[in-house]
A and B are shown apart, each in its own frame.
Chain A
Amino acid sequence: MRQWYRIAFPRNYLDRRKRAGFLFVLPALLFFGSVFILPLAQSVMYSFYKIAPGGAREFVGLRLYEKVLTDSTFWAAVGNTLQLLLLSVPTTVVCALAVALGLNRIANLKWRNVWASMYFLPFATSLVAAALIWQWIYEPVYGFLNYALSFFGIPPQKWLQSLAQVRPSIAAVSVWVRIGFDTMIFLAALQSIPEEYYEAARIDGADALQRLRYIILPMLNPQIVMVCILELIFNFKVFDQVYATTQGGPAGASQTIIMLLYDTAFKFFRFGDASVMAVFVFVTLMAVTLLQWRIFRKPVEY
């Protein structure tokens, strides 16, 4: 309390510096608070109420939690989301790392930047626009993908209209969009690895695979963990691609948690139920993120 008083009414130079620092972060704090903390608190509160648009509220305790968490549709959406995660996250991370390793070998800075920009372009595209383009690519009758596959004698596939293929198809869109961003992170990290480590390894007789395993991957550990966390969060919250293409179909095969949350809130106007789903997403992501950070993050020193 005394500290806050000293910030509000500084007595000396140090107090003034503290106040200046506080004022600098205040706009970001206010923004973060209003955009994140307040809605989160509101969601948690709403999850205990049955709410009708227009304001009428009825406190129902944990009834909505019981209702949502025993709903087979909810768990089907969780299952779909997990499947998308398992398809997208490892693929994105591995492909991004591979691309970054490849880009790192390009000695010519100009060409490296050109290739890096090309990989980054999908990330700069709106997700909805990307999804609509891919929807055309995946079109069973007139789509480019089936047309290309026909040259190899592969019969037309249903892609987004197939129960089995819809999730991998959507995962492919996510990978295509995200790979550039992750590549940039890995590339920056690769370029910060001192050349002496590679030299020492070469002198010791390490081949490329051994250098990758014993130098590159350990040195990239913080970035790999961070990218995994970011991809996990992104893919857990996947909505745009699904909304723009399949709307959760066919037959609910691509209905994700957020898609179900959206329908529950804005099509069925069940804000209490939707708030329970939002709390579930938050708690799950928080728990998994902390777990990843604790378990997989390793300090490395050479």
Chain B
Amino acid sequence: MKRSARFTLVVFAAAVVAMALPDVSIAQQKKLVLWTHWEQNPEFNKWYETKGKEFAKKTGYEVEVVTIPYQGYEAKYLAAFMAKNSAPDIFMGMTHQWCGQYDFCDKMPADLEKIYDQNLPKYMADVGKWKGVRYGIPIEHGNFQQMYINVDMFKKAGLNPDDPPKTFTTDWLADMKKLTIAPNGGEPTQVGFAIRSKGHPVGITDKFLPFAHAWGARMLSPDLDKATGYANSPQMVAALTFFGDLVLKDKVASLAFGNPEDAFGQKRAAVIFRESWFFGWVKKNAPDVNFKVYALPCEKACPGAGALFPWTDLVYKNSPNKQAAWEFMRFISNARDDMEHHQMQGILPVWTANLDSDYVKSRPDYQSTKAMLAQPVPPTYFHPKSNELATAFGEAVVGVLFGKGQPKPLLDEAAAKMDRILKD
């Protein structure tokens, strides 16, 4: 063999050996990796790392936060959990999905479970639980839609922003008509209601459900094992007809206005239904919007404090650092940290003790949140296949909005599809 070839081979072999040997000279910093897809709340996410520095002084474990874009987050989580070696230690998700449908979650230690059972608001008692067992910590109180109104637009339309509409089909619809501006009867330049029509059908279902619940409808049976007769009930048809008419007949909402949050922030829409985190988003992204927050209007019933996406912080079952992960969860599980964490981003805290704090009382959604919580709790759909079910249902909603068909046949088709999903 030539000298140059021999030399190359020796260098190559040395490199392979060097890479294969464990690096003992540099002590690696221990860390907990936390995945979150709450990309619209960066300060909230950053807090974990800040708190992690304090935690590191006690235990040697720092916390690294990785923000996964919400779009397609399920695929990234799934790939990581199935690969095991690149999975996070702590992750944000829905309990019924990641712990129910798939066994990726570690059960919360009993002492921590007791703390949360004692300190969560009653309506959130089941958030973070699957079949009565607690796995996760709810991260958001107020994860239900409320009505945000643009005060200046209301005044300009001759409406009283301190006297919000209370019923969908009467004063709410009338107000939306007054708030809509369509020059010469053409396309509106300003709409009353910022409707969600873009994106995945799951999100569209989430935004439609308050209307459904207000009409006394529910998406699934109480046992969550049947859709026909519920997803296509006469009440649901009526709710979807009203919802579709907002765009097609009453023209107080428009499909051309894109992202509803942007439409509200840019003062092209006067009203939006969004969760409590939206208050912080408006303050940061549209500080010139003068807004108030009220409870959602009612119809036959009141929508109540319900959500399709009960986000929780969960610990990965196969994490090599799960003991440390639960230690970190214990470290931040107190009323003070709960307040600091949520106040940082302008989100409602979770602990009952904080719900009447000065911070919460000073928020524009304080009264509206209390009003919503006073309403009967609406149906929940914490089913392992909730994504797929909500997608099938959402396809009917979107179909109506885009004029693909009438509510009844589209809902019949959706209900049949949902039943197939449930049976599969």
Interface of A toward B, CB cutoff 8 Å: 52-54, 67, 73, 139-141, 155-156, 158, 161, 163, 243, 246-253, 262-263, 265-270
Contacts and interface: CB of A to CB of B under 8 A. Distances in A.
B88 to A, nearest CB: 16
B395 A140 contact: no
Contacts of A248: 200
Nearest to A245: B198
Interface of B: 71-72, 74-75, 78, 81-82, 101-104, 187, 197-202, 255-258, 268, 385, 387-388, 391, 395, 398-399, 401-404, 417, 424
Contacts of A262: 75
Contacts of B197: 161, 250
Given A52-B102, A53-B82, A53-B102, A266 B74 contact: yes
Contact of A158 (B75, B102, B255): B255
Nearest to A244: B71
A251 B75 contact: no
B102 A247 contact: no
Contact of A53 (B71, B81, B256, B402): B81
A249 B391 CA distance: 12
Contacts of A243: 71-72
Nearest to B405: A251
A139 B391 CA distance: 25
Nearest to B401: A251
A250 B257 contact: no
Nearest to B417: A73
Contacts of B72: 243, 266
23 contacts: A52-B102, A53-B82, A54-B81, A67-B424, A139-B258, A141-B256, A141-B268, A163-B403, A163-B404, A243-B72, A246-B198, A247-B71, A249-B198, A250-B197, A250-B255, A250-B398, A251-B399, A251-B404, A253-B402, A266-B78, A267-B75, A269-B78, A269-B101
A140 B385 contact: no
Contacts of A52: 101-102
Contacts of B404: 163, 251
Contacts of A141: 256-258, 268
Given A161-B255, A249-B198, 13 more contacts: A53-B78, A53-B82, A54-B102, A161-B198, A163-B402, A247-B200, A249-B398, A250-B198, A250-B255, A251-B402, A251-B404, A267-B74, A267-B200
A140 B198 contact: no
Nearest to B82: A53
The 10 closest A-B pairs by CB, nearest first: A266-B75, A268-B388, A251-B402, A251-B398, A140-B256, A53-B102, A247-B200, A251-B399, A266-B74, A267-B74
Contacts of B104: 53-54
A243 B200 CA distance: 10
Contacts of B198: 161, 246-247, 249-250
Contacts of A54: 81-82, 102-104
A208 to B, nearest CB: 46
A252 B399 CA distance: 9
Given A54-B102, A247-B199, A249-B398, A268 B256 contact: no
Contacts of B75: 262, 265-267
Nearest to A50: B424
Given A251-B395, A251-B401, A267 B258 contact: no
Contact of A250 (B202, B391, B402): B402
B391 A263 contact: yes
Contacts of B74: 266-267, 269
A139 B402 CA distance: 17
A266 B68 CA distance: 15
A139 B74 CA distance: 27
Nearest to A55: B82
A106 to B, nearest CB: 42
A139 B256 CA distance: 9
A252 B395 contact: yes
Contacts of A252: 395, 398
Nearest to B204: A249
A267 B391 contact: yes
Contacts of A253: 402
* Residue of B385, B399, B402 with highest tally of chain A CB at under 10 A: B402
A248 B101 CA distance: 25
A140 B200 CA distance: 19
B199 A249 contact: yes
B385 A268 contact: yes
B387 A267 contact: yes
A160 B387 CA distance: 24
Contacts of A263: 391
A265 B76 CA distance: 12
A71 B71 CA distance: 25
Nearest to A246: B198
Given A53-B78, A53-B82, A158-B256, A269 B402 contact: no
A267 B78 CA distance: 9
Nearest to B75: A266
A140 B78 CA distance: 35
B203 to A, nearest CB: 9
Nearest to B263: A141
Nearest to B403: A163
A141 B269 CA distance: 13
B391 A161 contact: no
B389 to A, nearest CB: 10
B199 A140 contact: no
A243 B75 CA distance: 13
A253 B35 CA distance: 33
A54 B104 CA distance: 8
A247 B395 CA distance: 13
Contacts of A269: 74, 78, 101-102
Contacts of A250: 197-198, 255, 398, 402
A263 to B, nearest CB: 7
Contact of A156 (B101, B187, B387): B187
A155 B200 CA distance: 28
A1 B391 CA distance: 55
A140 B81 contact: no
Contacts of B268: 141
